[in-house]
Amino acid sequence: MKDLIVSILNAAIERSRAAGQLATAPPAAASVEAPKDPAHGDAASNVALVMARGEKKPPRAIAEIIRARLELPPEVAEAAVAGAGFINFRMAPAFWHGELRRAAAEGERFWRPQIGAARKVQVEFLSANPTGPLTVGHGRNAVLGDTLARMHEATGFAVTREYYFNNGGRQMKLLGESVRARYLEELGRPAAMPEDGYQGEYIRDIARAMVQRHGEALADAAGESKTLEIFRAAAEEAIFADIRRTCERLGIRFDVYTNELDLIRGGQVDAVIEGLRARGLIAEYDGALWLKGEPLGLPKDRVLVRSGPGREPTYRTPDIAYHIEKLRRGFDSVIDVFGADHIAEHQGVLAAVKALGHDVAPIHAIIYQFVTLTRGGEKVKMSTRKATYVTLDQLVDEVGADVVRFFFLFRKHDSHLDFDLDLAKRQAPENPVFYVQYAHARLASVFREAEKKGMGLPADRSLIDLAPLSEEEIGLARKLIGLPGVVRGAVESLEPHRVPFYLLELAGDFHRYYNKPSNRIISEQRELSLARLFLARVLMEGITSGLGLLGVSAPDRM
């Protein structure tokens, strides 16, 4: 539609120039947009406003000149000058009929514009270290990342979903020590929980399982590092299994798992250090190796390799290596999803990657703000240390996967997200998930009714005449046909939240339409009923496609 309008306008401007009424060429900066207010038509051009300066004429006068020279094709019903000098176009019903037919014929392809051209995209998300069950905060990350991946897949990108975790560091060691302490306790032996140890009940569960499996075999040599590695590995395995299970409940899976230890063993981490050293970006003091902050524009030096025995790298160094690795693997776009608390670190990592001669332009960071839970109008206090957090599993138990996914997406990623448990559990219209799903269920119900009355759609929908559709119905179609544009915008701007907000509006338009007695889809008037069923079917398909993009189901009954 946009392209059509632009070409019509440009032709009119050229004719005006030939006639000596205008001096300048059609400006590239001009745009054609769908106005917010439907009263302003289906497409609006600001070309006259943009040309005003060059032409040294008032925008409205320019708009009038152009309008008088317009030659409208049959798809365009009218063009009018309005406001400060906008030229508004209204499309003919036949145009919308055509769009509906195209949607019906093309199916999924229509709703999900193929803009990816098989370009390679990697989405790294969740990346929670396996030290405990996933929390509500992880949930936002997981759903955001998975949905970005789904949207890219749906629009024709080749997507890799990747989970990166640290298994070489201090926290994992602490995890092993915590399990060992519980293990010894289970055997009735003296044991000291490390100072910052993991207190959660799940640690005890893992320890019990180890008693069952190994008996007392690990107790006598409990102080040795070899047994510690056994405890650590067992904990990692058990917790990872738990994380995977939680993800599955939310329809989330990963293609690739990458970990810190592999990068250390593979030599990539050493390569980073050598590369930085060669560029004079390494400092050595206090027994540690530091990344120099000043030449990279960072506020201060950061430790790359710890002091003390073992010379272990900090999490930072493998992270630099990992990002270089991602770029080396040839992704056209690398999307990192992480919480606001990691932002400073990410900037440091990118600075180092850049300093090592890599182009960081393909890397996009999606940084989300924190999640709070509200129950009974009060914030639920959460603390990992005290193990008073609410796990993602508990949240799914309580409200279901569809609601969890929708709520996490129903906010721009850089806004704080307040998850209202009372609202989430309510099976009522104020719950946006049910509001959208209900629209689909109602439509499904209409088709069940139509079947009963022998009014089903013919196998070949293209035979149906859409002329009986009313202006209100064309309005509904216009809204519906906007979905592909919304999807495109959501992918290009990496803002998945646009889709659920759009779906809520669409569902609202439908509910309003449906509730008017005069709009009964199935009636005695066969031609009208068929046209309405056609619209209803395409609407159902659009809603299903939109919800599917979010990983939310479109139920036939509620």
Nearer to RNA, 69 or 316 (CB): 316
Is residue 485 within the footprint of RNA (CB under 7 A)?
A: yes
Range in contact with RNA (rule: CB under 7 A) among 13-21, 183-191, 283-291, 327-335: 283-291
Helix (H) or strand (E) holding 481: helix 471-481
**In angstroms, what is the C-alpha Rg of the chain?**
30
Contacts of 155 (CB under 8 A, 6+ apart): 112, 113, 114, 115, 116, 487, 488, 491
Is residue 83 within the footprint of RNA (CB under 7 A)?
A: yes
Rounded to a whole number of angstroms, the minimum distance from the CB of residue 245 to RNA is: 21
Rounded to a whole number of angstroms, the minimum distance from the CB of residue 140 to RNA is: 12
Using CB under 7 A, which of 189, 208, 253, 300 touches RNA? 300
Nearer to RNA, 348 or 551 (CB): 348
Q: How far is CA 25 from the centre of its chain?
A: 40
Using CB under 7 A, which of 288, 380, 387, 457 touches RNA? 288
Among 480, 472, 486, 462, CA closest to 543: 480
Single-letter residue type at 246: T
Nearer to RNA, 184 or 503 (CB): 503
How many chain residues are in contact with RNA, going by CB under 7 A? 94
Rounded to a whole number of angstroms, the minimum distance from the CB of residue 361 to RNA is: 16
Contact 153, 255 (CB under 8 A): no
Nearer to RNA, 63 or 210 (CB): 63
Range in contact with RNA (rule: CB under 7 A) among 110-118, 184-192, 298-306, 349-357: 298-306
**How far is residue 172 from each of residues 166, 195, 228, 258, 457, measured CA to CA in Å?**
8, 14, 10, 16, 60
Nearer to RNA, 147 or 218 (CB): 147
Contact 342, 312 (CB under 8 A): no
3-class DSSP assignment, residue 332: coil
Binding mask 160-179 for RNA (x = CB under 7 A): ------x--xxx--------
Rounded to a whole number of angstroms, the minimum distance from the CB of residue 238 to RNA is: 19
395-414 binders of RNA (CB under 7 A): 411-412, 414
430-459 binders of RNA (CB under 7 A): 430, 432, 434-435, 438, 441-442, 444-446, 448-449
Is residue 376 within the footprint of RNA (CB under 7 A)?
A: no
Which region holds residue 347: left if phi is over 0, alpha if psi is between -120 and 50, else beta?
A: alpha
50-69 binders of RNA (CB under 7 A): 50, 52-53, 59
Rounded to a whole number of angstroms, the minimum distance from the CB of residue 134 to RNA is: 13
Single-letter residue type at 524: E
Nearer to RNA, 210 or 368 (CB): 368
Nearer to RNA, 244 or 520 (CB): 520
Q: Which residues of 117-142 are buried (b: 16+ CB within 10 A; e: fewer)?
A: eeebbbbbbbbbbbbbbbbbbbbbbb
**How far is residue 284 from each of residues 302, 319, 339, measured CA to CA in Å?**
11, 20, 31
Sign of CA dihedral 339, 340, 345, 347: positive
Using CB under 7 A, which of 40, 109, 292, 478 touches RNA? 40
Is residue 287 within the footprint of RNA (CB under 7 A)?
A: yes
340-369 binders of RNA (CB under 7 A): 340-345, 347, 367, 369
Nearer to RNA, 190 or 471 (CB): 471
Is residue 314 within the footprint of RNA (CB under 7 A)?
A: yes
Single-letter residue type at 185: E
Between CA 558 and CA 555 the distance in angstroms is 7
Between CA 350 and CA 45 the distance in angstroms is 41
Is residue 122 within the footprint of RNA (CB under 7 A)?
A: no
Nearer to RNA, 212 or 493 (CB): 493
DSSP for 356-372, please give it: TT---TTEEEEEE--EE
Is residue 152 within the footprint of RNA (CB under 7 A)?
A: no
Rounded to a whole number of angstroms, the minimum distance from the CB of residue 186 to RNA is: 26
Nearer to RNA, 187 or 360 (CB): 360
Using CB under 7 A, which of 279, 315, 332, 457 touches RNA? 315
416-435 binders of RNA (CB under 7 A): 416-418, 420, 427-430, 432, 434-435
Using CB under 7 A, which of 107, 512, 525, 526 touches RNA? 512
Range in contact with RNA (rule: CB under 7 A) among 13-21, 143-151, 181-189, 314-322: 314-322
Between CA 439 and CA 504 the distance in angstroms is 10
Is residue 330 within the footprint of RNA (CB under 7 A)?
A: no
Phi, psi for 95 (deg, rounded to 5) = -65, -45
Using CB under 7 A, which of 37, 71, 195, 460 touches RNA? 37
Nearer to RNA, 106 or 414 (CB): 414
Rounded to a whole number of angstroms, the minimum distance from the CB of residue 195 to RNA is: 11
Between CA 88 and CA 5 the distance in angstroms is 10
3-class DSSP assignment, residue 259: strand
Between CA 434 and CA 474 the distance in angstroms is 25
Q: What angle do CA 334, 338, 344 make, to 5 degrees?
A: 95
Is residue 472 within the footprint of RNA (CB under 7 A)?
A: no
3-class DSSP assignment, residue 290: strand
Among 244, 187, 248, 197, CA closest to 218: 187
**Token pair for residue 254?**
């990963």
Using CB under 7 A, which of 9, 521, 528, 543 touches RNA? 521
Using CB under 7 A, which of 6, 61, 70, 82 touches RNA? 82
Nearer to RNA, 184 or 409 (CB): 409
Binding mask 87-116 for RNA (x = CB under 7 A): -x----------------------------
